[in-house]
Chains A and B, each alone.
Chain A
Amino acid sequence: MNQTELILIVVFMAVVTYLPRMLPLVLLRDINMPPFLKTCLQFVPYAILGALIFPGALYSTGSIPTAIAGICGSALLAYLRLNLVIVVVGGILCAYLFGYTGT
């Protein structure tokens, strides 16, 4: 792909990313949503996180065993209520060290 095409992709990505962020915030200013919809919106962050993590995380390192090591490592650290930075770095290290010792 050439540079011009890449710039165009980035610009169009920016437009289609900004619109869903902007439209409700600007247009729904005075609208009161029905209770069912409001409850749905409350659950949305958790549903999105679940669907983002699995099964996508399995394919994130190029090798399923190292990905599982990383997932388990970060889940354990998160379960222990450690800081997010430690969870992230710990997950990377688990995947890296497991791959290092496994091969």
Chain B
Amino acid sequence: MDKSETTIKTAVEQCATALADSSEESSTFFQGLKAGLPIAIGYLPIAVAFGLLARSAGLSLFIAVLMSLLVFAGASQFIAVNLIALGTQAWEIVLTTLVINLRHFLMSASLSQRLAVSLAKPWRSLLAFGITDETFTVASLQSQSILRGPFILGLNFIAYASWVLGSGLGVLLAGGLPASLQASMGITLYAMFIGLLVPSLRKGWPVVIVVVAAVVLQSVMNWVPALSALATGWKLVLSASLAAMLGAALYPQGVEN
């Protein structure tokens, strides 16, 4: 078995242990890199898709990569590029981004309970930059109750590197791919969300009920004419917080049934 095969095998195993409960203590930067490898692999096609989309919306390599470097938030970058292509006003794009990323507020609040109290504010400010749906999920599912700074830094770093490199690659590749394949790649981000969500549905009824509630609320807000005028991000935050509150009201014991 050559080195690259070993790396891929490690990534697959790492993904399995990251999602299941690992009994091994993960605390170093290097362990963070290892835990983040599946995210990095998963981000690459999505980042490439982002680069393709940015290119087809007429954005330059510089702007696309700058956005990935500074913003590092998949869903809002895709939506922002769509809005830019539609000629939406700048303030509306920024406001939509804020509203979409308000969910990070909840993740950050949740993560704040898992870091050592002694971890200094500069460290916390640095780790905060790398919070995404995926890094948050992998970090949260670690078995130990206190998460170490270097571990999260490694996890975030490898995901970030993949996101930035992939975005640039996507812009450069854009000319070479057929239009029908480019359109099909619009599903990439959703396929990743589905890939993260479906295994979680096995956790039991509380998770299933909350997911169904969120889907129903989001569909109602999308398709009921009186509500569909709401900005995308508000719909998302409203649906998600109402569904989470419903879950907490029905199942005070939490996610584990």
Interface residues of A (CB under 8 A from B): 1, 3, 5-14, 16-18, 20-26, 28-30, 33, 35-36, 38-57, 60-63, 66-67, 70-71, 74-75, 77-79, 81, 83-85, 87-93, 95-96, 99-100
Contact A46 B103 (CB under 8 A): no
Q: Are B84 and A1 in contact, with the CB atoms below 8 A? A: yes
Main secondary structure, interface of A, reads helix
| Cβ contact within 8 Å between B191 and A46 | no
B131 at the interface (CB under 8 A from A): yes
Q: How far is the CB of B27 from chain A (nearest CB, A)?
A: 18
Interface centre among B75, B101, B102 (most CB of A within 10 A): B101
Other CB < 8 Å A-B pairs besides A25-B131, A85-B38, A87-B195, 17 of them?
A3-B60, A10-B71, A12-B94, A14-B71, A21-B107, A22-B125, A28-B112, A39-B247, A39-B251, A43-B244, A43-B248, A52-B190, A55-B218, A88-B188, A91-B191, A92-B185, A93-B184
Once the chains bind, are B247 and A74 in contact (CB under 8 Å)? Answer: no
Docked pose: A65 CA to B197 CA in angstroms:
22
Q: Is the CB of A13 within 8 A of B80?
A: yes
- Nearest to B12 among chain A residues (CB) is A83
Contact of A44 among B67, B191, B244 (CB under 8 A): B244
Within 43-97 of B, Cβ neighbours of A (below 8 Å) are at: 45-46, 59-60, 63, 66-67, 70-73, 75-76, 80, 84, 87, 90, 93-94, 97
Q: Which 6 A-B pairs have the closest CB atoms?
A: A91-B191, A50-B214, A87-B195, A78-B198, A96-B184, A14-B70
The answer to whether residues A25 and B195 also contact, given A35-B252, A40-B248, A88-B46 and a CB cut-off of 8 A, is no
16 pairs from A and B in contact (CB 8 Å cutoff)? A6-B59, A6-B84, A7-B63, A18-B129, A36-B252, A44-B107, A47-B210, A50-B212, A56-B190, A57-B190, A61-B186, A84-B15, A84-B196, A87-B192, A89-B45, A96-B181
Q: A35 CA to B80 CA in the complex, in Å?
A: 36
Smallest CB separation, B66 vs chain A (Å): 5
Whether B215 and A50, one on each chain, are in contact in the complex, defined by CB atoms closer than 8 angstroms, is yes
